[in-house]
Amino acid sequence: MEEEILHLYQEPAIGASYTNTYGEENIRNLLDKYHSLDSEGMQQMMKMVVNFSQSTDLATSFVSVGVLHALGQNEGVAEAYSWANTQEDAERIINHFEIGKSVADYFS
C-alpha cells in the first residue's frame, strides 16, 4: 500500500497540467484511496500522510496538509504547522500549507 500511496503523490505531476496546477488531482486521488480502505488501512494511510505532512519536500507536505484538512484531521494539520514553525523557511512552508488547505476546500 505504501508504494501505491507514494505514487498518488507523484502522479500526476503537480503543475504539469492546467487540471493539476496545485495538486488538485493528487489530493482528490489520495482522498479516494483513503475512502476505499478498510479501517485498518485508513489508520495506516493516516500515519503516512501525517508523516509526509512534515516533509521538507513542499509538494509532499502541502498535499498532505490538504488531505488532512479535507478529512477533518485537525490534530494532524496542527502538528504540521508546529513542525513548519521550526523550519528555517517557515513562512514559505506555511504559505504552501494554506494552498493545500484551499485546494482541498475547493476540489474535494
pLDDT confidence of residue 19: 86
Quote the radius of gyration of the chain (alpha carbons, Å).
13
Neighbouring CB atoms inside 10 A of 48's CB total: 17
Residue 108 has pLDDT above 90, yes or no: no
Residue 104 has pLDDT above 80, yes or no: yes
The CA distances from residue 53 to 19, 58, 65, 68, 71, in Å, are: 23, 9, 6, 9, 14
Q: Are 67 and 104 in contact (CB under 8 A)?
A: yes
Q: What is the pTM of this model?
A: 0.95
Neighbouring CB atoms inside 10 A of 96's CB total: 21
Q: What is the pLDDT of residues 38-86, one digit of tens each?
A: 999 999 999 999 999 999 999 999 999 999 999 999 999 999 999 999 9
Angle formed at CA 15 by CA 10 and CA 21, multiple of 5 degrees: 110
